[in-house]
Every structure is written in C-alpha cells, then in structure tokens.
A = this chain, B = another copy of it.
Amino acid sequence: MLPTSLRTNTCGELRISDINKIVTLCGWVQKTRKLGGATFIDLRDRYGITQLIFSGEDGNSEILNQEGFSRETVLKVTGLVIERESKNKNLPTGDIEIKLQNVEILNNSITPPFTIEDETDGGDELRMKYRYLDLRRNVVRKNLELRHRIAIETRNYLDKQQFLEVETPVLIKSTPEGARDFVVPSRMNPNQFYALPQSPQTFKQLLMVSGFDRYYQIVKCFRDEDLRADRQPEFTQIDCEMSFVEQEDILQTFEGLIKHLFKTVKGLDIASIPRMSYADAMKYYGNDKPDTRFEMKLIDFNSTTKGKSFKVFDDAETVIAICAKGASEYTRKQLDELTEWVKRPQIGATGLVYARFNIDGTLKSSVDKFYNEEELKKWAEICNAEKGDLILVLAGAEDKTRKAASELRLEMGNRLGLRDKNIFSCLWVIDFPLLEWNEGDPNLLASLAGRWHAKHHPFTSPKPEDIELLNTNPGAVRANAYDIVVNGVEIGGGSIRIHNKDLQAKMFDVLGFSKDDAQKQFGFLMNAFEFGAPPHGGIALGFDRLCSLFGGADSIRDFIAFPKNNSGRDVMIDAPSEISEEQLKELNINIITKK
C-alpha cells in the first residue's frame, strides 16, 4: 500500500527483501513480552502482525523503558527491518522484525471487556454491545472481508453480462400484503407515511417496462417480522431482473453467477446444478429446500406397514421411513434419546419406530410383535437398506409427519457427519405452487388471514397451462417460480413475472384484493403493463445468507457489520429509542399510551 503521512508500510507487508529499510508502522498492541533483556511487541493492523523488538541498550526510546504497553494501545513506531533469529513460518511477516528506534503513543486503551483474539472470552451480548471491539477480531473481520469480495465478484459477473446497476427508492408506499412494512411518517405530507421496501420488486419490473433489459442492485430490504433466530429486520439482497427471457435463461444466468462466485471466492468448481420440482422436494425430503449433500430420502411406508394390526401405523394418515446408513449399531440409549428428540414440540412426532439391519444380517425392530423378520426384510428392500443400516419410521398426520421426517433426516445427517460445511451441494427447486392458504400467519397482518396468499409474491406468473385452475382450484396452480438452494439453505428465489394487466388484475382478485384496493396499491404497475411491457423475470439472492454459507457459518449475524438482536435492537447504539415531543409533534403523530 502507498505510504501515508503516518506510516510507510502496513503491519502485513514487510518481507525478507525489506531488510535494512527504516520503516514506520502504525497499529494496535496485540501483546508484549520480555525475553532476556529484550522486549517484544506484536503490532497488529488489518493487514497483519509485525514483531517489534527493543533491547534496553538502544538509545532514544526512553518511552519503552519507562512503561509497558497495555493491549490495544495505538502506536506509531519507527525502526530498522532486520532478519529474525527464530522465524515464524505461520506469519507472512515472520521472517523479519523491526528493531525499534522510536515509539509514539497515538492513543491509549483501557482494558477491553473481552480479549481481542480468535477465541474470545466475550459472550454474545457483550460482543454486540462492543461490536467495534468484536470487529477487531480477525475471525470477524475476515467474514466482512469475504462479504466485500463476494460483492465485488457479483458485480464483476453481472456487469459483464450487461446488467445495469440502478438504485431504487427506499422511501416508497406501504403495500403490506407480503410481510409487515416498516413505515416512515412524512412531515411534509401530514397523516401520510412512506414505507421501507420489502424488496424493490415493483421498481425492477418498471425498469423492465422502461427497457432497461437487465437490472441488478445489491440492496437493503426491510421486513417488520417477529424475528426468528437469525433473521434481521434489515437485510441485503442481490436483486436482479431480465427482459425477453424464459425461466431457462434465468436459471442459466444465475447458475453462472453461483459458479463464478464459488470459483473466484472459494476456488471451487461447481458442477451443473440439478433441478427438482417442488412436488419431488416435498415427497423425497419433506422440505422445499432439501439438503442434497446426502441422500437418506423419505420413503413412503404406507403400503409396506399398514394392515399388520399395528394400530399406530394403521390409524396414521401417513407412515414415512428413512434409512440411516451405517447406524445399525446405535445403542438402545441412543435410540431412546433420538425418540425423545423427535417428540420435542419443535419436531412434533409422537414416537419413533426403528429397525436394525444388523451386520450379521439379522433384522430387529422396536415393533417385532407386529412385524416378523420376513416383513422387516420387505422394509429393508424398499429402503435399499444394507447390513449395518438403521431404518427409522414416523407416523401421523401427513404434513406434520413429513416435516418431522425432514427434521429427523437432517438430524441424522448431522449425527452421521454427512453435512460437511466444506462440501457444497446446489439445487434448483422449480414448479412451486403459486398460492398457499393463510391460516393466520403471525408475520402477516391479521386481516389477511383466511385468504389465499402468494407463495412468492403477487407478481409471479402462473404456468400458462394452469391459468384455468385459478378459477376452480387455486391451490393446484403451479408458478413459473424457482428457488436456489445450497446445502439445505434457500439462497434465493425468483420467478417469471406477469406482464399482462388483465392477468395481474385476476391475480389480485384471487388474493382477495378489491378492485379498488388493487388499483390504489398497484395501479401504477398495472397501468405500466398497458404501455408495452416485455416478458420478464428475475431473482433475488439473500446476500447475508450467501456470505455466511461461503464463510461456513450457520449464523448471518457475524457477516453483518452492525447486526440487530432478536428484538430488533442495536444494543451498541441503543436503537430504537424514544424521540422528543418536538419531533413527534412535527410529524403530527402521538404515541398511544401503553396499558
């Protein structure tokens, strides 16, 4: 890096070839130690660590004799680059050290509330309160450097594909038919509110109507949800839209992006990304975002198990098995514990039946009373089980059991070490249903319950061959919609959009909008479709999630510089907070006094 007024070099760049240079570095004291008559200081900056050495006999550095330096003191040091006697092969600068001639304290530090090390003693809450210190830790900073790199490579790829980056507005109109909107009272337009975008969806579609042809943006979006673990009220999307395309073009283009990112950021070659219908994903994985790093598919056990007088299976709406390879030697204790695990309320199964295909070829189940070895052989056959495998069976109501089986599959994947964070398995899930019935989703306004709800969003086009079903069986209509899933995590999704005014109006009708409401909220888009809207479609990728996936982490929080906690609070700056009466009055709003 080019020198600045305060330093000639960074703490990461000096090498053996720099020996005999006089250099000036700035950085933080990582640690100090005395050895014989010499003092060693590790000086740290973003770029690395350089060892400083000072022996008592040297001249003009009284400061070093007078005091030690506490950790995190900011120093400006000048000295001679010399070769190290005992080199440190783990450090890029490990061949050299700086023989100090002068030291200046640029700023002092009181003792940090936790250690600034990769393995810190700071708990989550403390780290968030002092996030600016947490960000000093290499592991956290590296996450954000990774994020920076992924952003650059995303732009490189999309720029080359002639996507134009266009900024869409943040102060828009409330259309709370998706999740809840964050709103912003307007001082200049009393009684009126802006909303923060849940996504730039309508704007990117308008850009297609404008002939922008290919649009992208790495953009903040906002959703006022009851925060589940690892959700943030503000999050970042790679948001894209293309004109004159069909689904296949979008899958190809963004498969290209995913491959480019894996290649340039992780050095990995990703094979062609397979595709699976939503129906198959639900059938074989019980889940619309299957983790395909491992098989262990869900197996329909109804015809295999019913009619053998085992009431639990006979009375169940469905019976589903999975076959855990090489787990036949699970102990009774392990199996009991697994049974407790599936009975947890989050999983919701009522019990667990198992059958061991022992190494010696015998078969043994927890329901031997009802199924003899001959029957169990059939089980094994249908499961493609081999000696050493363990068959696990769940039964109950269809949806609940399928979900529980999916969870059990993932859990067994974990326990059997099949979910290696360094293996990446990508999948397109396609042919999603257009609609789902809203029984009363707590993340939606209560007034939207008991209606059809758009599975992706109201602008997703139904498959042309299914349009007729909108009148007769809306739940059966499939959409031109797709998700990209990596290792069981939905990284993004998109669709071919409606570009016809009448079809869009029909869609709002199915979603329970009055003509008036549809016109009021989305009239501008439907009107735009009358002026020559091109066929178009797009995708949005969850950028925070993508970064955490690339970083091999489960949580997105450490890939966001200043995240909020599960109550939507920034505990560092203490936001949200109360505002003054003067501000409220100017905005023409009152707080309803709390009961």
Contacts and interface: CB of A to CB of B under 8 A. Distances in A.
A532 B107 contact: yes
Tallying the copies of this chain within the complex gives 2
Given A245-B6, A561-B166, A173 B589 contact: no
Nearest to A113: B531
A242 to B, nearest CB: 8
Given A590-B590, A591-B191, A183 B579 contact: yes
B45 A213 contact: yes
Interface string A205-248: 01101111100000010101011000001101000001111101
A320 to B, nearest CB: 37
A148 B166 contact: yes
Interface in A247-289: 248-249
Nearest to A189: B576
B110 A211 contact: no
Interface in A559-595: 560-562, 564, 567-570, 572-580, 582-583, 585-592, 594
Interface stretch (A157-165, A386-394, A429-437): A157-165
Contacts of A500: 107
Nearest to A165: B148
A320 B560 CA distance: 55
Contacts of A131: 206
A141 interface: yes
Interface string A183-208: 11111111111111000001100110
A47 B145 contact: no
Contacts of A176: 579-580, 583
A12 to B, nearest CB: 10
A189 B567 contact: yes
Contacts of A580: 176, 445, 447
A144 to B, nearest CB: 6
Contacts of A532: 28, 72-74, 107-109
Contacts of A112: 531
A171 interface: yes
A182 interface: yes
B210 A446 contact: no
Interface stretch (A132-140, A413-421, A459-467): A132-140
A507 B532 CA distance: 58
A510 interface: no
A588 B583 contact: no
Contact of A170 (B224, B234, B567): B234
Contacts of A531: 72, 109-110, 112, 130, 132-133
Contacts of A582: 445-447
A19 B239 CA distance: 37
Contact of A74 (B136, B181, B534, B564): B534
A212 B141 contact: yes
Contacts of A144: 164, 166, 212
A75 B80 CA distance: 71
A188 B180 CA distance: 12
A23 interface: no
Nearest to A129: B524
A152 interface: yes
- Which residue, of A28, A151, A202, A524, has the highest number of chain B Cβ atoms within 10 A? A524
Contacts of A446: 582
Contact of A226 (B46, B151, B188, B583): B188
A335 B567 CA distance: 67
16 contacts: A5-B249, A73-B532, A107-B500, A132-B531, A133-B531, A144-B166, A167-B561, A173-B573, A173-B576, A176-B579, A183-B579, A189-B576, A191-B594, A206-B562, A588-B591, A589-B592
Q: Which 6 A-B pairs have the closest CB atoms?
A: A109-B532, A135-B210, A173-B575, A192-B576, A590-B590, A186-B576
Interface of A: 1-2, 4-7, 10, 26-28, 44-47, 72-74, 76, 106-110, 112, 130-133, 135-136, 141, 144-145, 147-148, 151-152, 155, 159, 161-162, 164-174, 176, 180-196, 202-203, 206-207, 209-213, 220, 222, 224, 226-227, 233-234, 236, 242-246, 248-249, 445-447, 499-500, 524, 528-535, 560-562, 564, 567-570, 572-580, 582-583, 585-592, 594
